[in-house]
Structure 1
Amino acid sequence: MKKTLLIPALILLSNNIKANQDTTTVDLGEIIIKENRIEIPFNKVSRNVSIISRKDIETTPARSIQEVLSFTPGVDVRQRGVSGVQSDIGIRGGGFEQTLMLINGIKMTDPQTGHHIMNIPIPLQAIQRIEVMKGPASRIYGQNAYAGAINIVTTLPETKTLNIQAYGGDFGMKGISAVSSLPVNLPFGKYRQTLSVSHDASNGHWYNSDYKVSNVFYEGGLDLNDKNEVRTMIGYTDRSFGANGFYTNSFPDQWESVQTFLASLSHTYNHENLNIQTRAYWRRNTDEFRLRRNEPAFFTNNHVSDVLALEANGRYESNLGTTGLGIEGRQESIDSNNLGERKRSFLGVFAEHRIEFLEDFDFRAGVYSNYYNEYGWKHFPGAELGYQINNSSRLYTNYGASYRIPSFTDLYYQDPSNLSNPDLVPEEAQSFEFGYKFNNKGLRLELVYFNRFTKNLIDWNREPSDITPNPNQWTPRNISEVTFQGIEAGLQYILKLGGKNFKLTEVSVSYNYIDANLNQAPGLESRNTLSALRHQAIAGIRSEFLGNFETNIKARYVERMALDPYFLLDARIDYNRLKTFGLFAEASNISNSDYVEAGFVQMPGRWFRAGISLNLFQ
């Protein structure tokens, strides 16, 4: 009897408690894009950047970072199953090896393969926002920020908080997560800390697609004084899943288990016009793959990769503008029964400067220089020019050169279906972008044209055959060249249309078109290059009703090169999202579409999940 009365009592109580402030409703123009050196207000950035706010994350019909990103214009998310158990991320036609993932500016690059860059050890609830930088970012972040970069940003709250969520749904899906913060006043400074944990599991939406995902993330920051701050991060994720159709459809009992560990320590000095940050981090990834889940002796790959890095970045503001300088040292290694024992080291140097002139213009230019003993020094310049037409309108253009080192899998992986190629050279690209932004009274509009020319693009291809299945092996090669060009148009309108019982609060729509002109040896079959996005349309509607309810409806049309198009409709409803006790429900693929995003995995039809949330704070 007591249990049956608990939930109604909490609902009544929550209606009388002051709602937690929804801090993510602030104007995007107030957000500072936190690059590793120069920091720029969002409304003065001279390139195409999407911001996924805390409110977006909380109200999107999604249970993972990957699913949240799938609603971002120009981002191609290819999931092998639900809830982002393993997903590949591409930007503007780029592949999963050409996108750089970061956590608070720390690179999550995996030297084994880009399949592992989304092994993010942070529960969705602990993320403050996600910054998606489209186009070349090598000048800003270094190698592998080839077609774009995605930076996950977390914050350390000033107050004590505790947020708990639990949910269940179709396919035996269940999950629980908790995010807590506990600031402490110490004799030598204020220490802020956050601990986040989560566990998600499912029986799977088809044969051998079950999964278990656990995350632990700790972050702490000590303000020593007004000038000095020390910050640390420790994260761990454990993912085990049935991999039916992930890499081949010949073995439906594939299985994989991946563990990723991340630790970092940083110091920031900030005084007057000078900011210097130094940091060190270590990332380890352990991967076990079995071709037959219950027969490891039949075929098993075991890989352990390590990344150790030291960085120093600084900026100085003067009457001549803002100058940014940086240096990084990085060592990557792998111990694998298939790839062998490999090591490589990199040195990178950054320099850039930004000025504002003639009142309405701003110009930023810089270069990233990289040294790798196999290829010597390589230099990658870039520049951005912006013109503020008025308080609402802005024109911008930019150019950048980008660079990607082949992964250890590209260079050395070999099995009966794949042949290695240790003679690969890095990919290099020249990119250009021109755009227009409008932002006034809740209406945001952006139009962009982009062009990326690549030489030495790495793609897995093979000779055609009249025999089915094709007996020829896939081999990674530096194909001669490819040009991606396209347009992006996006509109977002934040409004309060309606009465007391119903309000339409946001309408958004975007469209992306990408064209690829591939020049390679005739007759070769390509595994990756010609499967990029061609058309992508995304629309969303948010509303509030009866005071405590919020809805978010999302629709997507996706058409990839050489693949069948599909349409998806998703929705979420929240009750008391910011109050002490809340409820939510989500529906995915309401349109019940038949589609494949990656590999040979048939994605599920219509499916549902629902849960509760508790927000406890002082």
Structure 2
Amino acid sequence: MIRIKQTAVLALLCSVATCSAASGDANEKNIDIEKITVAGAATANKEPVGTFVSLVSNLEYDPRVDLQSRNMAEAQADVTIRGGIFENTGFRVGSATLLDPQTGHYFSEIPIAPEMLSKANVFTGVDNGLYGVNSSVGTVSFGWQPIKTAGSVSLGAGNNNFNLRRIHTGISVPLDNAKDWIIGFEGEYSFSESDGTIDNGDHDFNRTSGRVQLVGPSSQTDLFIGSQDKFFGWPNMYTPFNVNETEDLSTQLLMLNHKQNYGIDSTFEISAYTRTHKDHYVYSRDNPEAFQAFHETEVKSVGFSGRHAQTESFALNYSAQFIEDSIESTTLENNFTSREYYKASVLPEYQMSLNDEQQLKFRLGAAFDDTNRDDSDVSLIADITWISFNSDDLSQTISLSYAEASQVAGYTAIGGSDSGGLFRSNYSLERETTKNLELGLTLDGLSWSFDSAIFYRKDNDLTDWTYSLSSTSARSANPVDIDTLGFEVLAIKRFADAEIITSYTFLDKSEDYGTVDIDASFYALNYPDHRLTLGAIWHPSDIVEIRVDNEWRKQQENILRNGDQDALFTHLTLKVSPSQIPGLDIILAVDNLWGESFEEIPGTPGRGEQYTVTVTYHW
């Protein structure tokens, strides 16, 4: 590939002053403008097809991220942002990033019912540098929602012997003799199973979660406990040797979160959790003794973040987190088996009004990352944002930002054998660093919005998993330097009885592995050169709703991929809510409508069609 020159990129940035990677205001402060890096109606559908809803459901149609799945998204989801890889993406709940030290494949194993959390905020650039922990490219962040007195029960069936059962309920009541204090209780149980959309692609999932919540005049406290068990199979799940592999995962999470508002436009939040994750991997379900591995990880963490408004024009944004992890493994005991992580970041903010309709905001700060086993790193984060409001209710935001971030490799990459086995580690891996420059534009009207961003990112010593035709190992961890040029645009138009959501993403990479003994990349070079999404929500009548999401992509060529390098996926839902029975929904849904067999991960078969019918009663 032709190496991207920084001078050319800077010239391009200057020539597209109408594009902005708006660094979202994570605290929803002052001006509520939807941005590409902030939660919005990025997809038409909310529920998955083929299992119960999870935090990653329908992200494969979200233009802000690229989800590469094995079996289906809710089975094993590699969530990548802006051409990064799965281990560059963090998942944050409250003020704490939920880490799995073994591998980023399990970052999204979070046993929380989505009703309990806000929509996903996708942080990149400065906001990721401020809030992300050990996630150098992006962070998917969620906040705890107030509990409502409501609930639902669902039963579902479909092809491939699909079976779904789910119940969710919440109750919120005022406390006696305590003015403006409310206590809430919420719980859910979800179960699904099927034979799978292809042979040996079966699954058996269940999740139980609950929380207690105390809400005061200026605070919210949540105590959560959740457990999730997942068994699923897939041919060539991780290896290209034509075997039927299986995973058996069990995840438990206990979390305490407190958020406090004070003063004028000031807030802080503290989160603490303990998470255990067990993994039983079988290389061949037909011959389990050929190779299998057991891993158990434990993570304990406390994190806090906030915004202190000193004056109307000056505020201090801050975040910090401590993580302690450990692993017990049958195959990852050749190096270290525990680690401690430290992250602290500060981002002073200054705002000034140019006139009644224009505002300028400056943010300049730094982040410090360290562990007890790796070198530390200091990262610069800065942006400048110009916001204008017009008399015709149109707002414009133009921003320029520069952000650095860093992370260390997981135990699968650095803690196993470097000379044999299916997954070969690399003991010489160093701290990964990222530098991101971006520019763009956000336009917001009464019934439409337009977001665009152009960015240039340099990843140094990124840990990738590669394949060599001369090696007997399925994957080897190797460092790579990559320059990425990207452009993304998201447009939303709302009508009286419909909404249209469309996006386009372009990525171009140049890579340097420092060696010629690499024939293919499973992750870092598995990205779409061009990607289009088109979603729509239509209400043809009071009782009928139609939702559709489409994604077309042209993937970078890879010698391990079987079949075409382009694909078209469609998720279609028809919901009927008969007026005779208030609260009843009958939902017909299909995923992969055209039977696309595209391999989202090279050498791993793509998913097949799934048709379901679900009956849900809400109260």
Find the counterpart in structure 1 of residue 7 from structure 2. Answer: none
Contact 1:462 1:525 (8 Å CA) reproduced: yes
AA aligned opposite 2:381: G
Contact 1:452 1:483 (8 Å CA) reproduced: yes
Find the counterpart in structure 2 of residue 233 from structure 1. Answer: 224
**Cα gap change, 1:371 to 1:94, in 2 (>3 Å):** same
**Cα gap change, 1:426 to 1:190, in 2 (>3 Å):** same
Q: Displacement of 1:75 after TM fit?
A: 1.1
Find the counterpart in structure 2 of residue 537 from structure 1. Answer: 532
Q: Does residue 213 of structure 2 align to residue 214 of structure 1?
A: no
Q: Displacement of 1:603 after TM fit?
A: 2.6
Find the counterpart in structure 2 of residue 368 from structure 1. Answer: 367
Q: Displacement of 1:424 after TM fit?
A: 0.9
AA aligned opposite 2:573: R
**Cα gap change, 1:317 to 1:461, in 2 (>3 Å):** same
**Cα gap change, 1:33 to 1:153, in 2 (>3 Å):** farther
Contact 1:96 1:115 (8 Å CA) reproduced: yes
Find the counterpart in structure 2 of residue 258 from structure 1. Answer: 249
Find the counterpart in structure 1 of residue 352 from structure 2. Answer: 357
Picking from 320, 327, 346, the partner of 1:327 is: 320
Picking from 529, 547, 553, the partner of 1:552 is: 547
Contact 1:126 1:196 (8 Å CA) reproduced: no
5 Å matches for 1:470-481?
Answer: 470-471=471-472, 474-479=475-480, 481=481
Could you say what secondary structure the match of 1:429 adopts? strand
Structure 2: unaligned runs, 5 residues or longer = 1-22, 559-564
Find the counterpart in structure 2 of residue 567 from structure 1. Answer: 568
More displaced 10-residue stretch of structure 1: 71-80 or 358-367: 358-367
Q: Distance in 2 between matches of 1:553 and 1:573?
A: 9
**Cα gap change, 1:344 to 1:453, in 2 (>3 Å):** same
Could you say what secondary structure the match of 1:66 adopts? coil
5 Å matches for 1:149-298?
Answer: 149-158=139-148, 160-187=149-176, 189-223=181-215, 225-250=216-241, 252-273=243-264, 274-293=266-285, 295-298=287-290
Find the counterpart in structure 2 of residue 113 from structure 1. Answer: 103
Could you say what secondary structure the match of 2:87 adopts? helix
Picking from 591, 598, 618, the partner of 1:588 is: 591
Could you say what secondary structure the match of 1:529 adopts? coil
Q: Does residue 424 of structure 2 align to residue 430 of structure 1?
A: no
5 Å matches for 1:605-616?
Answer: 605-616=608-619
**Cα gap change, 1:390 to 1:170, in 2 (>3 Å):** same
Q: Displacement of 1:61 after TM fit?
A: 6.3
Find the counterpart in structure 2 of residue 397 from structure 1. Answer: 400
Contact 1:179 1:197 (8 Å CA) reproduced: yes
Q: Does residue 443 of structure 2 align to residue 448 of structure 1?
A: no
* 1:356-386 CA distance string (max 9 Å, x none): 1133111222221122233343111211211
Could you say what secondary structure the match of 1:70 adopts? helix
Could you say what secondary structure the match of 2:413 adopts? helix
Q: Distance in 2 between matches of 1:461 and 1:298?
A: 23
* 1:461-517 CA distance string (max 9 Å, x none): 35554xxxx5367432222x2101111112110011xxxxxx4x1112110000001
Could you say what secondary structure the match of 2:61 adopts? coil
Contact 2:90 2:132 (8 Å CA) reproduced: no
Contact 1:283 1:307 (8 Å CA) reproduced: yes
Q: Distance in 2 between matches of 1:540 and 1:592?
A: 19
Q: Distance in 2 between matches of 1:541 and 1:229?
A: 35
5 Å matches for 1:96-111?
Answer: 96-111=86-101
Alignment size in residue pairs: 568
**Cα gap change, 1:536 to 1:42, in 2 (>3 Å):** farther
Q: Displacement of 1:260 after TM fit?
A: 1.0
Q: Distance in 2 between matches of 1:301 and 1:351?
A: 41
Q: Displacement of 1:227 after TM fit?
A: 4.7
Q: Distance in 1 between matches of 2:282 and 2:364?
A: 48
Picking from 138, 141, 158, the partner of 2:131 is: 141
**Cα gap change, 1:200 to 1:54, in 2 (>3 Å):** farther
**Cα gap change, 1:353 to 1:275, in 2 (>3 Å):** same
Find the counterpart in structure 1 of residue 484 from structure 2. Answer: 484
Could you say what secondary structure the match of 2:389 adopts? coil
More displaced 10-residue stretch of structure 1: 574-583 or 232-241: 574-583
AA aligned opposite 2:364: A
Q: Displacement of 1:134 after TM fit?
A: 3.5
* 1:550-578 CA distance string (max 9 Å, x none): 10122210122115111122211111299
**What is the root-mean-square deviation in Å for CA atoms of aligned residues?**
2.6
Find the counterpart in structure 2 of residue 385 from structure 1. Answer: 384
Find the counterpart in structure 2 of residue 49 from structure 1. Answer: 37
Q: Distance in 1 between matches of 2:543 and 2:47?
A: 13
Could you say what secondary structure the match of 1:207 adopts? coil
Could you say what secondary structure the match of 1:122 adopts? coil
**Cα gap change, 1:227 to 1:185, in 2 (>3 Å):** same
Q: TM-score, normalised by structure 2?
A: 0.86
Could you say what secondary structure the match of 1:40 adopts? coil
AA aligned opposite 2:106: H
Q: Distance in 1 between matches of 2:115 and 2:270?
A: 28
Picking from 500, 512, 529, the partner of 1:507 is: 500
* 1:143-181 CA distance string (max 9 Å, x none): 3231111123441234x2111122111111121222211
Could you say what secondary structure the match of 1:265 adopts? strand
Find the counterpart in structure 1 of residue 494 from structure 2. Answer: 494
Could you say what secondary structure the match of 2:39 adopts? strand
* 1:109-136 CA distance string (max 9 Å, x none): 2110011012121345555422222446
Contact 2:573 2:590 (8 Å CA) reproduced: yes
Contact 2:45 2:548 (8 Å CA) reproduced: no
Q: Distance in 1 between matches of 2:247 and 2:87?
A: 20
Q: TM-score, normalised by structure 1?
A: 0.86
Q: Displacement of 1:253 after TM fit?
A: 3.0
